[in-house]
Every structure is written in C-alpha cells, then in structure tokens.
Structure 1
C-alpha cells in the first residue's frame, strides 16, 4: 500500500472514529479547549521571557520585577487548568468510545457464522477485542493532540519568531519541508511496525491461551 493510500485510509478511519465521539461532543469540546489553553499558555510563556530578561535582569526595572511572579503564576495556573481539562476529558471520552466499540464488536462477533470461528483462532478475536481497540484509543488521542495543541503551539511560536526576527524565521521555514519528509517516512515505518505488533499480539494470546489451558500437559513434559 502506497503512502498516499495509507494517508487516505487514515483520514477515513479518523472520520469514522469522530462519529463515535460525537455523542460525547460536550466533554470532547472541553478537552479541545483545554488543549488550546495549554498551547497558548506555552506561547505566552515564551513571549514573556524576553521582557522579563530585558526589563528585570538588564534594565533592573522594578515594576517588571514586581510583576514577574504574578505573570508567571497566571501562565502556570492557566496551563495547569488546561492540562487537567485536556487529560481528564480526553481520557473520559476515550474510555467511553472504547466501551461502545467493544460492545459493537462483541455483538458483531456473536452474529458471525460458526464457519468463521473454525477458520479464525479465538485468541485472534480476543486480541482484536482487547488490544487493538486500546491502540485505536491511543492513536486517536494522539491525533487530536497533534491537530489542536501542537498546531496551535507551532503557529503561535512561529508568529512570535517572526516578531523577534523574520530573517531567522524564514531560514527555519526553508528547512521545514525537509523535516516534513523525514517525519512522513518515519511515520510510515512506525505504522508498519505497529501493524506487525498488533498481528503478533494475536499469536501471543493464542499461545498463552493454549499453554494455560493445557498447563498440566506442559508441566508433565517439563515445560
């Protein structure tokens, strides 16, 4: 499968996942707002460093020195509040989506014909039901963070870099396409590795299940 097809399939899969998230859109929106607050607070911290260093340590401005603790405290409190909202709400939505998907998948498995169970090991189905769905949750959570928090953080820092020095920022942006190519290649390899791990989990579950069910035979032969 080519990288373009992988990207298209990934986008379609993510849209399907969002349809399962939609019933919990209120909590999901709070999580997104929390991510935005975290990203903006980190940009604000970077923006505060220059006036704090120049006014407090170089110019010895007493007003800036007096305001610095309160400004930093406000940024840290905002970041902490955003992080709590982000982590708690996205975890809550993630667990609910996994519960719904497991319920749907289990109902689907029960409706499958007997021939399907003859051709597919039970351990493979168990692995799909338990391990693979957990990986879906992790991947979807990371995707949301990249789309919201990381993009906002990147845009904010680039804007601040332009304000500080547009010459250096342009140099940085010139090498961005090269970095994007490397990241895309690495992501493709990580995806293939992840698929291999998911396939191997079914085999591990199958072997473990047989060993535990036949533990008397295993012990009898010194296993």
Structure 2
C-alpha cells in the first residue's frame, strides 16, 4: 500500500479520468455477467419455450449488451492508456530532474546502462502497478461480487462451499504473489545488467575488437539473455 502513497502525487492530477476508467471496467464486468445470464435465458426460449417473439427480443437485448460492452471496453482501454502514459511521462521527468541533483560519487558507483534501464524499463513497470493493477482489481472484484450474487440466487449451497474455500484461495494467491514479486525484481535487475553490458560493449567496441574479445562478449550476453528468458518463463508459469 505504501507504494501507492508514494506515487499518489503523480496519480492525483489524473484521478478523475482513472475513476472514469474504473466505472467503464465495472460496466464491462457487469455486462459480462448479464450476458451469461441472458445466454441461459435465450437457450431456454429457443429449446423449451419456442417463443419467436421472446427469442427476437432476447437476441436484440443480447446484441445491444454486446455493443455496450464494446463501447465500455474501448473507453476503459483508452482512458487507462492515456492516464498511464501521462503518469510515466511525468515520473520520468521527475526522475531525470532528481538525477541532476545527485552527487558525482553516486554516478561513479553506478553504471550508465543501469541508470538508463532504471529510467526507461523500471518506470514502465511502475506504470502497470499504479494504473493497470487497480483497474484490474476493480474488474475482478465486481465480477466476483456479481458472480456470487447470481450463484446465491441459483444455488446457495454451492455458493456457501465457495465462500468456505475462499480463505484457502486467498492464501494460495498470497504465496504466489510473493513469488511473482521476487521474480519481477530479479527480471528488472537482469534487465539493468543487460543494458549495462550493451552500453559497455558498444562504448568500448574498439577495445573489444583490438583484444579479440567478441566471442567472450557474445557469451556474456547470451548468458544474461538466457537467464532472463528462464526467469520470464518461470513467472509466466506461475501467473498461468
């Protein structure tokens, strides 16, 4: 929660648009639930009731909801992208200005490639945490509450069973979340190391060629890339 407090000054100017994006994504979640419910009703009308007028009205309502869902999804996607890109731009300017105030000894301890990676790559990750994660959380929360409401009306026993298992699911998600956080940090560190390696080789290409170290640098680069690939695939497996 502390990370959101730290980035609140960057989010605050765009909070109205972010809240509007949250409303759009909530609408998408609610319409998804309504479509599932309506699909069941439409199936009964077609296979059991054989009511042509009711079927026509249901299909018309279904198509209207699909169009409305598309409009809400488009609004959510555009607003989220608009807000996230503005936050990234503001934060990069702030970070670049902060770098100018640091002492020379700080730059002596840091490599250029690492600093470039922090400014470019790490800021992009922050974009996802600050904007996309809260929006996705709202969508999942609305979907869960709406789904449980429908399930409660249809079969309260099954709903009760899911609620009993919910703490276990939360515990599993928490364990995987910690692992994902650790992997994401490692991936960002390897990205910074890779940027540093590229910067070193390009800036010292004359030395590399003079001492015939091309094969050595290619091996170092391949090692970093393969390690990043391993970590990325591991994270993808956990997220799946």
Fold agreement, TM-score > 0.5: yes
Task: Give the structure 2 partner of residue 5 of structure 1.
Answer: none
> Which residue of 2 is the match for residue 148 of structure 1?
138
1:123 aligns with 2:113: yes
1:82-121 map, 5 Å: 82-121=72-111
CA distance, structure 2, for counterparts of residue 158 and residue 142 of structure 1: 24
Moved >6 Å (runs of 4+) = none
How big is each residue's C-alpha offset from its partner over 1:150-200, in whole Å with a ceiling of 9 and x where there is no partner? 101110111011111111111122211111111110010000000111111
- State how far apart, in whole Å, the 2-side matches of 1:19 and 1:42 are: 34
Structure 2 equivalent of residue 56 of structure 1: 46
Aligned residues: 213
Residues in 2 aligned to 1:165 and 1:49: alpha-carbon distance in whole angstroms: 18
Structure 2 CA distance for aligned equivalents of residues 15 and 81 of structure 1: 32
Secondary structure at the counterpart of residue 143 of structure 1: helix
User: How many Å apart are 1:222 and its aligned residue?
Assistant: 5.4
Q: Whose relative contact order is higher, 1 or 2, with alpha carbons under 8 Å and at least 6 apart?
A: 1
Distance (whole Å) between structure 2 residues aligned to residue 28 and residue 102 of structure 1: 20
**Of 145, 157, 179, which residue of structure 1 is paired with 2:147?**
157
Do the aligned partners of 1:56 and 1:64 also contact (CA within 8 Å) in 2? no
In the alignment, does 2:174 pair up with 1:184? yes
TM-score for both structures, normalised by structure 2: 0.84
**In 1, are the aligned partners of 2:21 and 2:135 still within 8 Å (CA)?**
no
Higher mean displacement: 79-88 or 171-180: 171-180
Contact 2:21/2:79 (<8 A) preserved: yes
SS for the counterpart of 1:175 is helix
- When structure 1 is superposed on structure 2, of 197-206 and 83-92 the one drifting more is 197-206
Normalising by structure 1, what TM-score? 0.90
